[in-house]
Structure 1
Amino acid sequence: MQFLSNPHGCEGWAGEMAQRIRTFDWSATDLGPLDRWSTSLACTVQMVLASPMPMVVLWGQAGYMIYNDSYSVFAGGRHPYLLGKPVELGWPEVAEFNRHVVDTCLAGGTLSFNNKALTLLRNGKPEDVWMDLYYSPVAGDSHQPMGVLAIVVETTAHMNSERLRQELTHNLEQRVANEVQARSAAEDQLRQSQKLEAIGGLTGGVAHDFNNLLQVIAGNLHLLARHEPHNEQVQRRVTAAIAAVDRGAKLSSQLLAFARRQPLSPAVYNPQRIYAGLGELLQRALGETIHIDVQLPQDSWCIHVDRNQLENALLNLAINARDAMNGEGVIRITGENIILNPDDCAGKSIKPGEYVCLAVTDTGVGMPPAVLKRAFEPFFTTKREGQGTGLGLSMVFGFVRQSGGHVQMLSEQGKGSVVQMYFPHSLEPETLDAYTEQTLHGGGQETILVVEDNEGVRLTVVELLQQSGYTVLTAEDGDRAMQALQGGLLPDLIFTDVVMPGRVKSTDLAEWAREQQPPVAVLFTSGHTRDILSTNHLLSPDIHLLSKPYSPEALTHRVRSVLIARQGCP
């Protein structure tokens, strides 16, 4: 149009948005090049650019967006992406609302909303907003409606202040009732927190000594088995005794998990990769009469979790599901990228934001409400004596909560159950496994300093390591170990208990090791770390921990892996 090429046309448009509109490649849209715009569209855009109000033109059936400087401020991080985009693509979370607006106005109608409540994504998170909205049709050169003129005024601040004023002016009776209800809820949460703390304190106090005892028993059993390799009676009894030790260790571990006091080594993983390493184990554990249906999104977000503990949680949930279906049927393991808004998080232990929801679903007998309410309580079980400890779901609960997530269970009698685990979306790059299993077999010739105050544990560890070819030196506590180190002893690895008597702590030994050139490798071991190595029992990647009780294979595997990590080669 001549209108657009003279000084009274687009060259006269002023402001940042005017410049963006002039330089935008409109030929890629249904509107065509700028110099071919209709007079009505050019005039409408000129009016919008001159207005101090936030205004946007939605042109054509697709609602291509052309807006002014004030609207760009409202658009926030979506500007300048919105320019020239169909409105349903620009604001996908309210696409249905905007489609209704465009269809209504192109049919000649108008719309207006006062303090309209909408949920928009801002900075990647859902946010409740309120707006005054006015929509009018814009006629084209043919006098038929060709677009929509929208005035958008955000009233969120006003609505928030108005709502606050109405909290403040609520009648006294209602305020008292709310206060009583809130206090009751707070007392319930406090009782639950105190129960967790009591179990955690009890478990933590017992776990260290209990796991030391199990380690002494397990270590001597393994040594006995090695000394009598051809005695079938000894081997049979040792195998039964070691199985009992493993069950005791599992009970201790599950209690620590429920109390959120287990040491975790979290890293960033894609759920697809976690299941790929777990699928075969699940099928073996569940049996051939169970079909596992896995539905994980190809574009799954990553999560920051302890991979071993997540695998244990999925295994526990799958076994529970199998038992609920009497060993036959389909178990579904699903994953979903979801965004939780404030309403979704009400009454939960998590904040609004992006999460990955991993769920295990069965078609079993389901649970009545009274049983469902107690499902995550430790030692609560509906199974017959000897069939279960009642700690499987408790362990899942504690692990997910300790990982910063939330777990919930839905169930209906006769229709089955679903357990949903919500883990925060991690934006960090995925962790890659540094070493393969093949590099970690066998022993070595290095010198290892074993620092352990429990004599029974110390003696068995020394013999196990010596049998693997290592030169082993010992110290009864941190004080004696530091004396030897400062006296010139330079081992290849320090294998130290975490909790020991004396002035010199295990962390002091690790600090000494880091200061050497080259640094000396350190492998911690403990029945319970009591948060000496971590905050909230979350271990950093540079801390290596072998939890008691451990097998000879686990010991030699971890010693070898830590030495390899220090050397940077096998």
Structure 2
Amino acid sequence: MQFLSESHGCCGWNGEMAERIRAFDWTLTELGRIDTWSNSLRSTVQLLLASPVPLVILWGRPGYMIYNDAYSVFAGGLHPYLLGSPVELGWPEVAEFNRRVLDTCLAGGTLSYHNKELELLRDGKPEAVFMDLYYSPVAGDDGVPAGVMAVVVETRKTAEESLLKFTRNLEQRVADEVEARLAAEEQLRQSQKLEAIGGLTGGVAHDFNNLLQVIAGNLHLLARHERDNPNVQRRVSAAIAAVERGATLSAQLLAFARRQPLSPAVYNPRHIFEGLGELLQRALGETIHIDMQLPDDPWCIHVDRNQLENALLNLAINARDALHGEGTIVISGANVVLDRAFCAGKGISAGDYVRLSVADTGEGMDPATLKQAFEPFFTTKADGHGTGLGLSMVFGFVKQSGGHIDMTSRVGQGTQVQMYFPRTERPQTRELPTRGAQHSGGHETILVVEDNEEVRSAAVEFLQQSGYQVLTAANGDCAMQMLLEGVAVDLIFTDVVMPGLIKSSDLASWAKIQTPPVAVLFTSGHTRDIISRNHQLSPDTHLLSKPYGPDALMAMIRNVLGD
């Protein structure tokens, strides 16, 4: 019968450590296979496992450790790695002490200590541990000491020391608890606010952007029909600009609510910064000096590059305004390691992060203003000079990207905004070169799937004017029926949110398994996470956000078709 295969009513012989001892590969040690162990070692192991007191055997000259369930609790984070380990390797911080124990007991001696203080690294950090320790030799089958039995009982310091320590820590514990409670309550309030705004924005965004698409589509068609009428062109341009402002407002609200569709990829911040300096300089003006600082080897991050660039641009514009259009803005990056204390209550985990900062020496903000800075529609600018959604959008983007954002400010000294993005070990995304060709149209057959008749008719006219053959379907059910009946198309241009049993994602799944696969271009005012996961699009998902114009539509179609 295999050793320790039966409990015979003893709980310890069928506990966790009994199972671990049976499963351990003892051929890695001088003890050899468990079925070749001496009778003395077997009996001692059974005695040890049956004890409710923390016991450990140190067997042989190396002191291979075999211990019971009670000792596994004492070992803390070192369990189960101590099993089978020589004691001097298992507890290197007290290796000299344990060598004396082995030398003494293997020579036939015994040792005992009362309230012995040893500094141990049970959970990765030094701690003073007070113990009653009793060491006795264990005889082998030949009667000669072959190992050491150690009784380890962790004790406390004297009552006065314990009381003093408790008194010293009580105030700090209470303060930490209060701070943690307040942080949790604030985080809950912020989360509830986000959910409320997100639900409201998500519910409105789809219909609102569809309305904007109807307006924009007809304005673009009117501009094409009246090319030679300057009055029409002027008024159409003004109306389209208003449509774009409405679309921007909707997008900013979705960003704050963390519901904007993102297309993240792996980037080295240095590559992003290289192309950003010229853009910022043009946007901020010649009287602003931009000081860009990055480490030589910044870690990679997984972000939507366009949204990150927009966030940095928003922060830089705010900094310029705080400087009244003249001064220096420092945009910097750093590799940082955040600990648990820093991350507590912030919704992020401890680990490696890339910190991107935008700092100015402008007029700064008082504490009351700073507290409201990320609130949607809050602004200190004059009427007509800001929507109050710039910082809100940055806040939502950073949070949606799995990061954290901090802002510090002092009146008369300036403001610093710090964005923390988790480090990624994945390889950098290979960026395809952008094409500068004109997107004049094509000859392919496109199936337009759109439940809104006004949006559908405008899209059809755009495509037909550009030379495409166009088929239409009012919903996913009709589109799938056409495709299953054998209608051949080169691309499916489909709205995301539609009534019916067949969803836009079902059309995409069908298109993907065809030979060859059929290209799919989605369009939507708000995807409601139907084609994304946590509002993050996969690299092979193409989305044209509403409202869009004919140029954007043609460019996306040529891109998806692979021209």
Q: TM-score, normalised by structure 1?
A: 0.70
**Distance of aligned partners of 1:411 and 1:182 in 2 relative to their CA distance in 1, 3 Å threshold:** closer
**Cα drift, residue 74 of structure 1:** 7.6
Aligned length: 429
**Aligned pair partner of 2:306 in 308, 320, 327:** 308
Q: What does residue range 207-286 of structure 1 map to in structure 2 within 5 Å?
A: 207-286=205-284
Residue 405 (structure 1) aligns with: 403
Residue 61 (structure 1) aligns with: none
**Do the aligned partners of 2:91 and 2:120 also contact (CA within 8 Å) in 1?**
no
Gap regions ≥5 residues in structure 2: 1-27, 30-60, 65-84, 93-116, 130-153, 156-161
**Distance of aligned partners of 1:411 and 1:453 in 2 relative to their CA distance in 1, 3 Å threshold:** same
Residue 434 (structure 2) aligns with: 436
**Cα drift, residue 442 of structure 1:** 3.2
What is the DSSP-based 3-state SS (H/G/I as helix, E as strand, rest coil) of the residue aligned with 1:422? strand
Residue 202 (structure 1) aligns with: 200
Partner letter of residue 538 of structure 1? Q
Residue 147 (structure 2) aligns with: none
Higher CA-based Rg: 2
Q: What does residue range 117-156 of structure 1 map to in structure 2 within 5 Å?
A: 129-130=125-126
**Cα drift, residue 71 of structure 1:** 7.3
**1:364-398, Cα deviation, whole Å (9 max, x unpaired):** 10000110011101011111111111100000000
**Do the aligned partners of 1:361 and 1:419 also contact (CA within 8 Å) in 2?**
yes
**Distance of aligned partners of 1:174 and 1:282 in 2 relative to their CA distance in 1, 3 Å threshold:** closer
**1:111-161, Cα deviation, whole Å (9 max, x unpaired):** xx975999xxxxxxxx9622579xxxxxxxxxxxxxxxxxxxxxxxx99xx
Partner letter of residue 447 of structure 1? T
**Cα drift, residue 178 of structure 1:** 7.5
Q: Which moved more, 1:534-543 or 1:382-391?
A: 534-543
**Distance of aligned partners of 1:230 and 1:424 in 2 relative to their CA distance in 1, 3 Å threshold:** same
Residue 343 (structure 1) aligns with: 341
**Cα drift, residue 279 of structure 1:** 2.2
**Do the aligned partners of 1:496 and 1:525 also contact (CA within 8 Å) in 2?**
yes
**Cα drift, residue 299 of structure 1:** 0.8
Instruction: Tell me how far apart the structure 1 counterparts of residues 171 and 424 of structure 2 sit (CA, whole Å).
Output: 45
**Cα drift, residue 487 of structure 1:** 0.9
**Distance of aligned partners of 1:323 and 1:177 in 2 relative to their CA distance in 1, 3 Å threshold:** closer
Q: What does residue range 284-363 of structure 1 map to in structure 2 within 5 Å?
A: 284-363=282-361
**Do the aligned partners of 2:180 and 2:345 also contact (CA within 8 Å) in 1?**
no
Q: What does residue range 360-371 of structure 1 map to in structure 2 within 5 Å?
A: 360-371=358-369
What is the DSSP-based 3-state SS (H/G/I as helix, E as strand, rest coil) of the residue aligned with 2:423? strand
**Distance of aligned partners of 1:71 and 1:431 in 2 relative to their CA distance in 1, 3 Å threshold:** farther
**Do the aligned partners of 1:494 and 1:520 also contact (CA within 8 Å) in 2?**
yes
**Do the aligned partners of 2:183 and 2:345 also contact (CA within 8 Å) in 1?**
no
**Do the aligned partners of 1:269 and 1:302 also contact (CA within 8 Å) in 2?**
yes
Partner letter of residue 222 of structure 1? H
Q: TM-score, normalised by structure 2?
A: 0.71
Partner letter of residue 250 of structure 1? T
**Cα drift, residue 172 of structure 1:** 11
Instruction: Tell me how far apart the structure 2 counterparts of residues 179 and 421 of structure 1 sit (CA, whole Å).
Output: 27
What is the DSSP-based 3-state SS (H/G/I as helix, E as strand, rest coil) of the residue aligned with 1:197? helix
What is the DSSP-based 3-state SS (H/G/I as helix, E as strand, rest coil) of the residue aligned with 1:129? coil
**1:238-293, Cα deviation, whole Å (9 max, x unpaired):** 11111111111111000000000111111001111112232222111111111111
**Do the aligned partners of 1:440 and 1:561 also contact (CA within 8 Å) in 2?**
no
What is the DSSP-based 3-state SS (H/G/I as helix, E as strand, rest coil) of the residue aligned with 2:126? strand
**Do the aligned partners of 2:184 and 2:345 also contact (CA within 8 Å) in 1?**
no
**1:435-457, Cα deviation, whole Å (9 max, x unpaired):** 42236733221111010011111
Instruction: Tell me how far apart the structure 2 counterparts of residues 295 and 174 of structure 1 sit (CA, whole Å).
Output: 39
Instruction: Tell me how far apart the structure 2 counterparts of residues 287 and 317 of structure 1 sit (CA, whole Å).
Output: 15
Partner letter of residue 125 of structure 2? V
**Cα drift, residue 234 of structure 1:** 1.3
Instruction: Tell me how far apart the structure 1 counterparts of residues 554 and 284 of structure 2 sit (CA, whole Å).
Output: 30
Q: What does residue range 27-42 of structure 1 map to in structure 2 within 5 Å?
A: none
Residue 561 (structure 1) aligns with: 559
**1:15-37, Cα deviation, whole Å (9 max, x unpaired):** 99xxxxxxxxxxxxxxxxxxxxx
**Cα drift, residue 191 of structure 1:** 2.1
Instruction: Tell me how far apart the structure 2 counterparts of residues 177 and 273 of structure 1 sit (CA, whole Å).
Output: 44
What is the DSSP-based 3-state SS (H/G/I as helix, E as strand, rest coil) of the residue aligned with 1:491? coil
**1:508-543, Cα deviation, whole Å (9 max, x unpaired):** 111110121001011111100111112211111121
The reply on whether 1:497 has 2:491 as its aligned counterpart is: no
Instruction: Tell me how far apart the structure 2 counterparts of residues 402 and 71 of structure 1 sit (CA, whole Å).
Output: 48
What is the DSSP-based 3-state SS (H/G/I as helix, E as strand, rest coil) of the residue aligned with 1:437? coil
Question: Which 4+ runs in 1 deviate beyond 4 A?
Answer: 50-53, 68-75, 113-118, 169-185
**Cα drift, residue 313 of structure 1:** 0.5
**Distance of aligned partners of 1:296 and 1:551 in 2 relative to their CA distance in 1, 3 Å threshold:** farther
What is the DSSP-based 3-state SS (H/G/I as helix, E as strand, rest coil) of the residue aligned with 1:421? strand
Partner letter of residue 129 of structure 1? K
Partner letter of residue 376 of structure 1? F
Partner letter of residue 263 of structure 2? S
**1:26-62, Cα deviation, whole Å (9 max, x unpaired):** xxxxxxxxxxxxxxxxxxxxxxxx9879xxxxxxxxx
**1:476-509, Cα deviation, whole Å (9 max, x unpaired):** 1111111110111121110000000111111111
**Aligned pair partner of 1:468 in 463, 466, 469:** 466
**Do the aligned partners of 1:358 and 1:422 also contact (CA within 8 Å) in 2?**
yes
Partner letter of residue 331 of structure 1? I
**Cα drift, residue 401 of structure 1:** 0.3
**Distance of aligned partners of 1:346 and 1:470 in 2 relative to their CA distance in 1, 3 Å threshold:** same
**Distance of aligned partners of 1:173 and 1:375 in 2 relative to their CA distance in 1, 3 Å threshold:** closer
**1:302-352, Cα deviation, whole Å (9 max, x unpaired):** 100011111110111111111111111111110001111112213322111
Aligned alpha-carbon RMSD (Å)? 3.1
What is the DSSP-based 3-state SS (H/G/I as helix, E as strand, rest coil) of the residue aligned with 1:300? coil
Instruction: Tell me how far apart the structure 2 counterparts of residues 346 and 490 of structure 1 sit (CA, whole Å).
Output: 56
**Do the aligned partners of 1:409 and 1:419 also contact (CA within 8 Å) in 2?**
yes
What is the DSSP-based 3-state SS (H/G/I as helix, E as strand, rest coil) of the residue aligned with 1:357? strand
**Distance of aligned partners of 1:340 and 1:71 in 2 relative to their CA distance in 1, 3 Å threshold:** farther
Instruction: Tell me how far apart the structure 1 counterparts of residues 360 and 200 of structure 2 sit (CA, whole Å).
Output: 34
Residue 526 (structure 2) aligns with: 528
**1:148-195, Cα deviation, whole Å (9 max, x unpaired):** xxxxxxxxxx99xxxxx99xx999999999777655543332222111
**Distance of aligned partners of 1:335 and 1:178 in 2 relative to their CA distance in 1, 3 Å threshold:** closer
What is the DSSP-based 3-state SS (H/G/I as helix, E as strand, rest coil) of the residue aligned with 1:237? helix
Instruction: Tell me how far apart the structure 2 counterparts of residues 314 and 320 of structure 1 sit (CA, whole Å).
Output: 10
Percent identity, aligned pairs only, is 68
**Do the aligned partners of 1:407 and 1:422 also contact (CA within 8 Å) in 2?**
yes
What is the DSSP-based 3-state SS (H/G/I as helix, E as strand, rest coil) of the residue aligned with 1:314? helix
**Distance of aligned partners of 1:534 and 1:428 in 2 relative to their CA distance in 1, 3 Å threshold:** same
**Do the aligned partners of 2:497 and 2:504 also contact (CA within 8 Å) in 1?**
yes
**Do the aligned partners of 1:365 and 1:416 also contact (CA within 8 Å) in 2?**
yes
